[in-house]
Structure 1
């Protein structure tokens, strides 16, 4: 499922910007399909413009019936009556998503025989302090089993002791849900930490859900700003 909003707050209409001759949302949809990992791929949107461009390439679209504050809420509505076990959320602004990273996170659920994991997500190491301190870059800290402790737009952990070596991780916008966890999400109200940070993954943590993080070294480019789009265009060439 690829949630796709036309009016993004930081970069309106970013999903319809040109990337190598096609809109960003089309590039993301094609990248998800081309991994060969999924039974079905859908774009979930409330935008007739996005819906039309996906339908024009023969893609699958589900139009949202309600207004949603997050991509997870949008997807929950779309899958409510589907007979599925696992739902994967790929953000519409991630046209460089790769099959190897997705396969690693899917394997986590295949190996989870007790079904203890509610969600899975991706993280990648970052070392550039400008990126670490950038509020557009969501960071995550994990326990020694790889489960998320917290997500933040601030640098976490804070480097008070410069002598202690710690890896900083960027959270990549990919979620793998058990359907029950996703359906819980839409019923649970937003709490203060999520409202403050504007990071939907925090809602799961605030309600005690277990999020397994999987490390990947494929960084890709998330298109949050016009500058990101220019970098993406250079990489695409």
Structure 2
């Protein structure tokens, strides 16, 4: 194993959201939501820098007010991964850098999560990492919960909205199901390749962007965790997150 390459985290923060416009600016205990995400990610000692990537002047100005590093990016990116790539270029990150994509709507982010994502990169063969945790069979039925199956080395074999693996024999009914948690870290070279590729056939069928990587033979190392996370999708979710924030 070698030492870790330089590691950075970028938090994409768009203003437009169908269910919650202006979500990154939502007030939580007197501060905008993006501030809490930044503060928790920045506490990871393995990260050299954490930066917000936005497409909106209101978010940019608020980030400067709260002393959160921020870059302005194109408003027309098709995905958060493309926004992350542009931000990495603006920041002039090294080719050997690792970039963590931190979801901007998880103000109660576990401080250990960025570290879990970047630690595997001490192995030079690791190109992309993500997270998964065990769920029960009933939870695995939900197509909104993306499942993943792994190889013996911990690499993703497939992601699906379907319940995978399919249990054919009743005596194997206690097989674990793994819920994919959508946090990623990429070597910058892998991220650059990823964002340069068109949507792949399986990606379009499942509506899962990460399948583009597997179809391009870029492996994704899946790190197991107990982390559950809680994303703020709608204004009413703010009432649900406040008790968690007060307990942190």
TM-score range, shorter chain: 0.7 to 0.9
In structure 1, distance between residues paired with 2:195 and 2:63: 26
Question: What is the number of equivalent residue pairs in this alignment?
Answer: 233
User: Does residue 1:136 correspond to 2:148, yes or no?
Assistant: no
* 3-state SS, counterpart of residue 51 of structure 1: helix
Q: CA RMSD in A?
A: 2.2
Deviations 1:155-183 (A, max 9, x none): 32345545422212222222111110011
Rounded to whole Å, the distance in 1 between the matches of 2:162 and 2:27 is 31
Give TM-score, length-normalised by structure 2.
0.84
Is residue 2:14 matched to residue 1:2? no
SS in 1 for 2:107: coil
Residue 82 of structure 1 corresponds to 93
Structure 1 residues 225 and 106: CA distance shift in structure 2, 3 A: same
Cα displacement (A) at 1:151: 1.8
For normalisation by structure 1, the TM-score amounts to 0.87
> Contact 2:54–2:70 at 8 Å: present in 1 too?
yes
Cα pair 1:86 1:176 within 8 Å, conserved: yes
Aligned twin of 1:33:
42
Q: In the alignment, is the contact (CA less than 8 A) between 2:108 and 2:244 conserved in 1?
A: no
* Partner secondary structure for residue 189 of structure 2: helix
Distance in structure 2 (CA, Å) of the matches to 1:224 and 1:169 = 23
> Of the two, which has the highest radius of gyration?
2
Unaligned runs of 5+ residues in structure 1 are none
Selected match of 2:222 from 213, 222, 231: 213
Corresponding residue SS for 1:220 = coil
Distance 1:14 1:65, change over 3 A: closer
Name the counterpart of 1:148: 156
State whether residues 122 and 216 of structure 1, in contact with CA within 8 Å, keep that contact through their aligned partners in structure 2: yes
Aligned ranges for residues 1-237 of structure 1 at < 5 Å? 1-65=10-74, 67-80=76-89, 81-84=92-95, 85-110=97-122, 112=123, 115-127=124-136, 129=138, 131-164=139-172, 165-226=174-235, 228-237=237-246
How far, CA to CA, are the matches of 1:162 and 1:94 in structure 2?
38
8 Å CA contact 2:41–2:114 kept in 1: the answer is no
**1:21 CA drift (Å):** 2.9
Deviations 1:41-99 (A, max 9, x none): 11111122222221110111111136211111111112134225211111111222223
User: Which ranges in structure 2 are unaligned for 5 or more consecutive residues?
Assistant: 1-9
CA contact (8 A) 2:127 2:186 kept: yes
Cα separation, partners in 2 of 1:152 and 1:227, compared to 1, 3 Å: farther
